[in-house]
Amino acid sequence: MTQTLKCQIMLKFKNMRDKKIKKKVQVVVFSMDFDLGLNSAQVLLLEFNSKNSQGPIGFQNITGSVEENESFIQAAKRELLEETGIDSEVLDCHFDFSFTDRWNNETECIEKLFLCIINPERKKIQISNEHQSYKWVDVKIVREIDYTFPSNFMALNKAVELVGAKLK
């Protein structure tokens, strides 16, 4: 290996170490009767609050940042509670997204996916001021255009896949 190649490799690893990594979570919330399975499942969509938003207005799953000294699962449970008033366990979907922060191109993001399943009787939620409304949509009819970001629709599909596999 040449000295030049060694220097290029070392510089690449140094740049990777110097890049900021932002940890994020995404939580897909289902309202579902387990006896009926996915045939009864609805997904929660939260609408951005246009007064607070610096970006596009539209619908999304629950998302948020992992705070210092907080695990991904702790962040998922906290964000679920903060954004909806739902105090519940979350399931790690063992799936994540990697992307560059839309506000800072120097920051790489890793966003882990979680799932929360609630009983249909608990569908009334308390949204935070981050959102202006919410809606429940049947998982069989929700489409990618129902979401602002494609990763939210991908997350829904992963959650449906996970639930389908668990119910078999």
Number of domains in the chain: 1
pLDDT digits (tens, 9 = 90+) for 23-80: 999 999 999 988 787 888 999 999 987 665 565 578 999 999 999 999 999 999 999 9
Cβ atoms 65, 24 nearer than 8 A: yes
| 58 vs 80: CA distance, rounded Å | 18
Domain range for 155 is 20-167
pLDDT digits (tens, 9 = 90+) for 97-115: 888 776 666 778 899 999 9
Whether 56 is in a domain gets the answer yes
Tell me the CATH number at 107. 3.90.79.10
Whether 3 is in a domain gets the answer no
Whether 13 is in a domain gets the answer no
Q: What pTM, to 2 d.p., does this model score?
A: 0.82
Whether 125 is in a domain gets the answer yes
